[in-house]
Chain A
Amino acid sequence: MEAFTSLAAGFQIALTPMNLFFCFVGVFIGTLIGVLPGIGTSGTMAMLLPITMGFPPISAIIMLAGIYYGACYGGSTTSILVNIPGESMSIVTCLDGYQMARQGRAGPALGISAIGSFVAGTLAIVFLGFLAKPITTFALRFGPPEYFGLMVVGMMLIIFLGSGSMIKSLISAVMGLILAMVGMDIITGEVRFGFGSIQMSNGIGLVPMAMGLFGLGDIFLNLETKIDREIFETRIKGFFPNRKDLKQSSGPILRGSILGFFLGILPGGGATLASFFSYAVEKKISKHPERFGKGAIEGVAGPESANNAGAGGAFVPLFTLGIPPNSVMAMLLGAFILYGMQPGPLLMAEHPEVFWGTVASMYIGNVMLLILNLPLIGLWVQLLKVPYRILFPLIILFTLIGSYSLRNNPFDVLLLIIFGVLGYLMKKFEYEAAPMLLAFVLGDLMENAFHQSLIISGGDFSIFLTRPITAICLFVALTLLLTPFIPWLQRGKDIVSKTAQDAKT
């Protein structure tokens, strides 16, 4: 009952004209970047973060959240019509979505994708609203050792569930932790890795780093590859799926929503993994698995629902524990910190308007997305025709302005370019950038939790083993670290990677 009352208060906040406007802007930009390949969610959020500094925090969070779940909607359009996923979470939609388009069923594919996304997005918000309170109540008992353990296991899960080499992901995470230490040590006041530069002693900003790794890095990569966008030229009509389509899709939508939400909560899980798993599950339980890959509507309905539910689920660990499960949520955590708030168990108590206002705005955003996506499909298709040579200079200028504007410091622009080159090289050398960004965001929090734990215990390391939650977390983290030596666990990781690979190829 309390949740309903709080949600009603959240709607009062979300329905103010200004917040409605920011919600619309967020979902619109989200759909836009979802539609346009070559522009990622994390990079866009980093680009817009400095701009939102003048906005009220609740409006800024509503807008940034809208970008994330809006991108989940938009990503499917390019998968279905062009066979190019706008976002990684829509890769799997290409398999059956594009085939449906080739068979003249682009309308029902886009329709079921929007309906599934809407249902899953709404269910995920309901789950988020009702799960948040019990988790935060439980998390209030956590002290620094528990947080340290949770952050370690969260980071290890991200490394474990990553699609590439585990050692490379570990290197990426360790580099993130090292980069987080650049600047003044808040405990001793000593400058670390300053190299005699005053600029370096202020530390590395999250925005230039994220924009460089995910925004500029992607642009550099796209500059050396030709983006071939051949749009499926057909009249798209009849968005509403027929009765048979709806009957075939109802199960996948429901299963995708539940599976997606819980995979979304998992660090490293998120929307992309949720979509792969949903596809694998639907194919496995189908009476006619041979239809998959040839235009089966279940292959669109399940993953599209799962990725939206996964996006909703990803808010749970951030809002309740203050731990971001993926790079996009890491950006949102960075935004919260910039606005002077700390997400976690105290968020609901200290800033209920932000928590419930954001949750309520997500309901409204889902309705907006349904309206935006189907009637405006023609507009999105036209946008796909904008050549990349026109788009990329604009994105570059936005990243330059974005990184400069946060501190009015040209050094941040230089950092942006350095991280852009690093992001590009990491992609070329097949290193994942997400663990680096996450470790960077969590680095300070982790070090503080580690120091505070040792202060509590008087320097006794056994505190990490005698506190049950910390001990379990560290044990799980160690097990994940030793994956290559544990055959059944390695097989599990291989299945995850293979599912991802199967869907990509």
Chain B
Amino acid sequence: MKRKDQISGVFWFLISLIVIQQSLSMRLGTFRSPGSGLIPLIWGVILAILSVIIIIKAFLRTTESTYRMQPKVDWSSLGKLGVVIGILLAFTFIFSYLGFFFSSFWILVFLFRDSRKWWVPFFIAALTVVSCFLLFHVFLQIQFPRGPWGIQ
């Protein structure tokens, strides 16, 4: 907890600096006639104060708390998490170019890849993509981007 609070406190403090810097670049006005920057500035300063309190409290704490709210981390899964986040980010960028079918199919094949039989991820991914297309596009009439071959 001690180390976690130090890290998170510094993170929020840096965020507060960005908020304050951005607020100061806007018109502040007065309390009687506030400009766009005044209230964000107040929140930025409050965030800075709160993050400093977190940091100081963490430094003053002498021992690591034994109490843990979150379950113990399976570190081997952290890599898996990183890869999933990477795949999702890639999806954001390819979605508009490759369209719904191709981009969704490939991320699903990847996410279902833990199966023992090689064809299972392909089968489930295809089934899911077709079902989602029918539900969201045909039934709910949501527009998806078209890929290079004119396929959604």
Contact = CB atoms under 8 A, between A and B. Distances in A.
A401 B57 CA distance: 42
A193 B54 CA distance: 25
Nearest to A401: B136
A450 B38 CA distance: 12
Contacts of A178: 19, 40, 43-44, 47
B12 interface: yes
Interface centre among A174, A175, A398, A447 (most CB of B within 10 A): A174
B112 A393 contact: yes
B7 A429 contact: yes
B111 A405 contact: no
Contact of A174 (B8, B50, B57, B132): B50
Interface string B114-152: 100000000010001000100010001111110000000
A193 B1 contact: no
Contact of B81 (A192, A223, A400): A223
Nearest to A170: B50
B74 interface: yes
A400 B90 CA distance: 12
Contact of A220 (B19, B74, B81): B81
Nearest to A415: B92
Nearest to A185: B36
Given A178-B19, A193-B40, A421 B124 contact: no
Interface string A430-470: 11000000000000000100110010001101000000000
A177 interface: yes
A54 B50 CA distance: 43
A429 B107 CA distance: 29
A164 B128 contact: no
A152 to B, nearest CB: 13
Interface in A258-292: none
Interface residues of A, number: 57
Interface stretch (A116-124, A240-248, A406-414): A406-414
Contact of A413 (B4, B51, B53, B91): B91
B contact face: mostly helix, strand, loop, or mixed = helix
A229 interface: no
A132 interface: no
A188 interface: yes
B35 A188 contact: yes
Contacts of A398: 132
Interface in B10-40: 12, 15, 19, 22, 26-27, 30-37, 39-40
A54 B85 CA distance: 31
B142 to A, nearest CB: 4
Nearest to B57: A167
Given A401-B132, A410-B95, A413-B92, A190 B53 contact: no
A215 to B, nearest CB: 12
A225 B71 contact: yes
Contacts of B84: 220, 223, 396
A188 B36 contact: yes
A174 B47 contact: yes
Contact of B40 (A192, A226, A392): A192
Interface in A372-431: 389-390, 392-394, 396-398, 400-401, 404-405, 408, 410, 413-414, 417, 420-421, 424, 427-431
A420 B89 CA distance: 11
A459 B22 contact: no
B88 A417 contact: yes
Contacts of B66: none
Given A164-B69, A401-B132, A192 B36 contact: yes
Given A225-B71, A454-B32, 17 more contacts: A51-B136, A178-B19, A178-B44, A185-B36, A187-B36, A193-B19, A220-B84, A224-B81, A225-B77, A389-B114, A393-B112, A410-B145, A417-B85, A428-B4, A429-B5, A430-B70, A459-B33
Interface of B: 1, 4-5, 7-8, 12, 15, 19, 22, 26-27, 30-37, 39-40, 43-44, 46-47, 50-51, 53-54, 57, 69-75, 77-78, 80-81, 84-85, 88-89, 91-93, 95-96, 104, 107-108, 111-112, 114, 124, 128, 132, 136, 140-145
6 contacts: A174-B47, A188-B36, A190-B36, A224-B73, A410-B96, A461-B31
Pairs of residues from A and B, 3 with the lowest C-beta to C-beta distance, nearest first = A459-B32, A393-B111, A224-B77
